[in-house]
């Protein structure tokens, strides 16, 4: 019993600490972006710095998301073990938010390097702008939904242990991408996704948000239904 308690504490603490470290690194990267890279990018892409605010906005969002994600592990640690439905729903929401953050971070860090290392304007830069701005918006929504659910005590879990239609139709995203945050999260999220993308919902191809069937465009990223 004591061993299991220690392992559980270690599991949550390590992920709390990992996100704290990632947040500090993101703050450093944000500072570097604001003081060095934006000016360089402005020169190479022949665009005023005012048109590059979408990059710093992305990094500010990354910093904020790391802060929120860090504290979700403290929340998860204190979530009662016997509340299985709430725990499952929480891990699903946490995993989807974390996956959205990873996609945003990948774009803001790795994909931006192509333009930072370029010798002149790129015809692909406007597409990159659209992608990064879109990911920033979608990720913000993921985390706002996560925080809202936690503030409400995960009350959108019904007595049968499934997410209510209110939560699944208007707040949560369904996806199969991997998260690095919790134990058994892939199985949990696959299970939750199968509930959410039922006959009453359709999953967006771009951001995986679970929309109500009557919606003609994604309520999260505005991608038209296909």
- With b for 16 or more beta-carbon neighbours within 10 A and e for fewer, the 22-61 pattern comes to bbeebbebbeebeeebbeebeebbeeeeeebeebbbbbbb
Q: What is the dihedral of CA 46, 110, 114, 141, to 10 degrees?
A: -40
Which is nearest to 130 in space by CA: 210, 193, 51? 51
The answer as to whether 222 is a domain residue is no
The answer as to whether 90 is a domain residue is yes
The answer as to whether 186 is a domain residue is no
The answer as to whether 43 is a domain residue is yes
The answer as to whether 209 is a domain residue is no
Residue 212, SS3 per DSSP? strand
Transcribe 152-210 into DSSP letters.
Answer: TTTTTB-TTSSB-HHHHHHT-B------SSSTTHHHHHHHHHHHHSSTTEEE-TTT-BE
Q: Does the pTM of the predicted model rise above 0.75?
A: no
- Both tokens of 103, joined, read 């996609």
The answer as to whether 8 is a domain residue is yes
Contact 205, 226 (CB under 8 A): yes
Find the domain containing 95 and state its range: 2-159
CATH code, domain carrying 23:
1.20.120.1750
The answer as to whether 155 is a domain residue is yes
Per-residue pLDDT of the chain (226 residues; tens, 9 = 90+): 677 888 889 999 999 999 999 999 999 999 999 999 999 999 999 999 999 999 999 999 999 999 999 999 999 999 888 888 999 999 999 999 999 999 999 999 999 999 999 888 999 999 999 999 999 999 999 999 999 999 999 987 754 455 554 454 434 443 333 444 444 444 444 444 433 444 556 777 766 666 667 788 876 667 788 7
The answer as to whether 20 is a domain residue is yes
- Both tokens of 222, joined, read 């505005």
Quote the number of domains for the chain.
1
Contact 217, 224 (CB under 8 A): yes
- Give me the phi and psi of 212, to 5 degrees please: -65, 150
Q: Is the dihedral of CA 213, 129, 68, 191 positive or negative?
A: positive
Per the DSSP assignment, residues forming a β-bridge with 173 are: 209
């Amino acid at each position: 019993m004591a061993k299991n308690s220690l392992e559980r504490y270690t599991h949550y603490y390590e992920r709390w600490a990992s996100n704290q470290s990632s947040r500090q690194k993101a703050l450093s990267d944000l500072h570097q972006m604001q003081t060095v890279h934006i000016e360089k990018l402005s020169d190479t892409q022949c665009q005023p710095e005012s048109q590059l605010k979408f990059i710093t906005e992305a990094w500010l969002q990354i910093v904020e998301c790391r802060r929120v994600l860090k504290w979700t592990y403290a929340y998860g640690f204190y979530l009662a073990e016997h509340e299985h439905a709430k725990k499952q729903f929480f891990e699903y929401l946490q995993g989807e938010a974390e996956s959205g953050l990873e996609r945003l971070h990948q774009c803001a860090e790795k994909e931006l390097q192509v333009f930072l290392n370029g010798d002149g304007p790129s015809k692909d830069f406007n597409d990159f702008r659209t992608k990064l701005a879109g990911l920033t918006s979608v990720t913000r929504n993921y985390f706002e939904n996560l925080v809202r659910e936690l503030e409400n005590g995960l009350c959108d879990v019904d007595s049968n242990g499934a997410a209510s239609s209110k939560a699944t139709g208007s707040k949560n995203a369904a996806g199969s991408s991997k998260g690095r945050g919790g134990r058994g999260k892939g199985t949990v999220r696959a299970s939750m996704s199968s509930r959410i993308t039922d006959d009453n919902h359709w999953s967006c191809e771009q951001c995986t948000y679970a929309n109500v069937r009557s919606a003609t465009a994604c309520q999260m990223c505005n991608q038209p239904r296909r």
